[in-house]
Chain A
């Protein structure tokens, strides 16, 4: 099926083919007769060998041979010699079959099955494997089989590591060998085996080794992914850390009872409108964790210790693991001013997905002020269109007149954290940066630029809470711009990476923790992707209009969002809006002028929790109010995304999907909606 040249069929070819076919069919028919009648004579078994030699993929023949072997092994007159002879036969048949097709799953499995019978000529197996590796060093069947043999022989990881080294020295372009090396090294690190206890000793040698591959031929991908793994091993701290929170440490929060957007931009406090007297506390970790609950995170508010706070992970479906966790704290209306203290990780239990414990207990505290209600909320008139008013916004990139205030968030991390990341990590990164700068001075290559960008980002991230700014941002942005030109095939990949770096440059957010702005304008920045959420937790009104966003993955972290514009972007489906389902305060949403309805293929169909992915039950079918009126089969995405929203105002014009019929479906799904595309609803 692969790699055969296209030939025009000639009559003599067809005749020959037909003759061959008839022979094979006859063989097969005879074989079936033996198989279905359970005939295991020598002659019958020989026939199956003939069949497998012509067609090693005829799986039923392998099954038959296993039955034949078991039949012989159960005969009363079998002895060690006859058993050996029978099993040797099987190994011979497998070898013949593999000569025909060394990728035959059936053949490899049969060999494993034979060996499991205890007839072990394991040394032979290594020799056989050497033959196959020489024929094709990328044959994954052979590598898998080698793993099976090594385990049966109890060969050490160190010996197998040496084997990968030999293979790589024979030919650097051997991704399979690099892969196996990473598996073995990883196991040795985990076991804390002798000689592999200290990554700082082992990794520099591995870097030397991988350089030989990458620098010999920068266009050969074999080493790229191994190098990325080495980088990950160098940079990743084992324990999870708290990266950011809202409210920030040392901040003042004003809870406002009625809907007043006036004046809040200039008040000294972060004002948050709250009907219920409660507000979210958001914890943003540097990696996904589980085990955040009222035992591992304690919240003291005034005189009350909140023991029944429910911490929820912001993750898709029913996962109990997330980077972002949120709980809602209700402040008693009699307390106009309270101090809240949040202690994270003083009790063990917060664990990362890799199994490492949160080991740097931290504490953050902030003040909450409750503004008493001035107007009876029932008298508030139906909102006129809330527009994203200029004066409420903090413009991205505009230098703040105030001096850049040291981030209070960072105080949490400084308290109880090692003062600097271990030196060896910085040294390793610095050396890599130097090597790749040298490579780029000789060869203008894609992997050089991409790796350098990654190294510089990693270096900055490691320096980050202690350095005041990200030193290499400009250089990294330029590297990505270069890559967008150099490797046009992967243009969008570099653009996405670049968008995140652009957002991470934004650091004024920290001053907002005490100064009050709640609105952020990030429009016309050619953003294709959102990121840097740990710096944006304070945002209540966000303008992302006129960008190129086709995904809002991660936006669920911005729990304070009440007003969001995604106007004029490239959202392609309703399921792409899934992150918004977790934004309980969202009231105003503008998704006008996107591409929803243009594309038949939905790329967020499975990233979104849906009945198709069994992450949601069949509530849909039981909801009568909707199914009786609405053709569910055509609108399930709309139902799933919008049914939990609490929107007052929605703009959807300019999307192919937004015809009158669809809009009436939306109105049925969201009975509380007050305004759709500028029109007031009754």
Chain B
């Protein structure tokens, strides 16, 4: 079996961080905050977080914070809940949550909760269960989850539960592994997993594994390394991960590496990017691949980072 080309991937991630001139880079400019989270968490899982200049990263992050308390995807862009979570997650990685005015961030997020318990992404009102997860995860990391109406948030998420046991982005929306991760993660973080029919959802999730060993995101779609995270972490949170063939999945992820130039792609022999590199490494961590730090399936941060938030001092 192929092995994880750790050094190549570290080099790749660091190169992506520096290269701001390619077309790909400019087109992703608006989500650089997400990119930072993907790249840096991957580096931490690979044991190489110290390869970056912490101060530079933090100073850039703070430049992305707006008056409202929310963070934008990059300097100049508008704030959005998506990038607010990534910012908080990166600060947690570096154990620098203390640079934040926590109340300010919390106010931004609580302001985005709607009457029905759902969350908007920003002031323009797009509603999606992804944002419910983000709000809950973010405030959880900041230890002030009680600032939102948790009960309503949970009941909105449950209104998006489908008859196949999965979850969609809005009520009636088709089950999709990404949305399922967000809803199951949010329910996990609020101690509400008993609302999930674990056997029903577990079967839907385990049937994402196709012949090649990879996982797809919904029935009759192609496998993709990012689902190694969305599907896998969901299975782990509901304790049904033994229903897939873990070895076959490890092999699939390793086959998606570019072992010459570093990086991981969505499918074998496709172009690599930092998004799939992160999800590939995170998936391998969940599969107990040797040499990687353990990652928490709900917070999507290394276990030692999560434990540090909850149990130290």
User: Could you tell me which A residues sit within 8 Å of B by CB distance?
Assistant: 1-7, 14, 17-18, 20-21, 24-25, 28, 32, 36, 54-55, 57-60, 62-63, 66, 105, 109, 113, 138, 140, 143-144, 147, 173, 175-176, 179-180, 182-183, 186, 220-222, 224-225, 228-229, 232, 315-319, 321, 488-493, 496, 550-551, 553, 599-601, 603-607, 609, 611-616, 620, 632-633, 636
Contacts and interface: CB of A to CB of B under 8 A. Distances in A.
B219 interface: yes
Given A175-B218, A489-B244, A144 B173 contact: yes
B204 interface: yes
B22 A179 contact: no
Contacts of B258: 6
Contacts of B168: 140, 144
B286 interface: yes
7 contacts: A222-B220, A316-B191, A316-B193, A492-B243, A603-B236, A609-B191, A612-B189
Contacts of B22: 14, 17-18, 21
Given A66-B124, A606-B237, A550 B242 contact: yes
B310 A607 contact: no
A161 B156 CA distance: 25
A183 B140 CA distance: 33
Interface of B: 21-27, 29-31, 72-73, 76-78, 80, 122, 124-126, 128, 140, 145, 150, 162-164, 168-170, 172-176, 188-194, 200, 202-204, 206-207, 209, 213, 218-221, 224, 236-239, 241-245, 248, 258, 265-267, 269-273, 275-276, 285-288, 294-298, 303, 306-308, 310-312
Contacts of B288: 599-601
A315 B191 CA distance: 11
A1 B273 contact: yes
B311 A636 contact: yes
Contact of B243 (A6, A20, A225, A490): A490
Contacts of A147: 170, 172-173
A112 to B, nearest CB: 8
A491 B258 CA distance: 31
Nearest to A319: B194
A32 B76 contact: yes
A21 B73 contact: no
6 closest residue pairs by CB, A with B: A615-B191, A606-B188, A600-B294, A221-B219, A493-B243, A317-B191
- With most chain A CB atoms within 10 A of its CB, the pick from B188, B213, B220, B239 is B239
A571 to B, nearest CB: 12
Contacts of B26: 21, 24-25, 28
B21 A18 contact: yes
Contacts of A57: 27, 30-31
Nearest to B242: A492
Contacts of B265: 6
Given A179-B174, A183-B162, 4 more contacts: A17-B23, A140-B176, A221-B207, A601-B295
Contacts of A66: 124
Chain A, interface SS category: helix
Contacts of A176: 174
B260 to A, nearest CB: 9
Nearest to A18: B21
B220 A490 contact: no
Contacts of B164: 179, 182, 225, 228-229
Contacts of A613: 188-191, 193, 298
Given A5-B271, A6-B272, A182-B163, A632 B311 contact: yes
B311 A633 contact: yes
Nearest to A230: B163
A628 B294 CA distance: 27
B175 A6 contact: no
B174 A175 contact: yes
A600 B303 contact: yes
Given A17-B22, A59-B78, A493-B243, A5 B270 contact: yes
B162 A105 contact: no
A147 to B, nearest CB: 5
B77 A59 contact: yes
Given A59-B78, A222-B220, A607 B238 contact: yes
A601 B220 contact: no
Nearest to B123: A63
A63 B244 CA distance: 42
Contacts of B224: 2
Nearest to B245: A489
Contact of A611 (B188, B245, B273, B310): B310
A55 B311 contact: no
Contacts of A616: 191
A233 B74 CA distance: 50
A488 to B, nearest CB: 7
A63 B124 contact: yes
Nearest to A113: B124
A606 B27 contact: no
B311 A179 contact: no
B237 A60 contact: no
Contacts of B267: 3
A489 B210 CA distance: 9
- With most chain A CB atoms within 10 A of its CB, the pick from B30, B72, B176, B297 is B30
A32 B30 CA distance: 12
A58 B126 contact: no
Contact of A220 (B163, B206, B220): B220
A80 B287 CA distance: 60
- With most chain B CB atoms within 10 A of its CB, the pick from A109, A180, A490, A600 is A600
A105 B267 CA distance: 23
Contacts of A319: 192, 194
A229 B164 CA distance: 7
Contact of A113 (B125, B176, B191, B241): B125
Contacts of B25: 21
- With most chain B CB atoms within 10 A of its CB, the pick from A54, A175, A186, A616 is A175
B192 to A, nearest CB: 8
Contacts of A491: 245
A147 B218 CA distance: 20
Contacts of A636: 307, 310-311
A319 B192 CA distance: 8
B266 to A, nearest CB: 5
Nearest to A184: B172
A537 B260 CA distance: 60
A614 B189 contact: yes
Contact of A490 (B21, B239, B244, B308): B244
Contact of B126 (A5, A109, A228, A496): A109
A344 to B, nearest CB: 22
Contacts of A17: 22-24
B245 A488 contact: yes
Contacts of A143: 173-174
A493 B206 contact: yes
Contacts of B218: 138, 175
Nearest to A105: B126
A173 to B, nearest CB: 6
B145 A179 contact: no
A620 B312 CA distance: 11
B78 A606 contact: no
Given A183-B163, A221-B219, A20 B23 contact: yes
Contacts of A140: 168-169, 173-174, 176
Contact of A633 (B175, B193, B203, B307): B307
A397 B193 CA distance: 36
A491 to B, nearest CB: 8
Given A5-B269, A614-B189, A144 B30 contact: no
B219 A614 contact: no
A657 B193 CA distance: 27
Contacts of B202: 493
A179 B167 CA distance: 12
A55 B245 CA distance: 39
Contacts of B190: 613-615
A32 B202 CA distance: 46
Given A138-B221, A316-B191, A601 B236 contact: yes
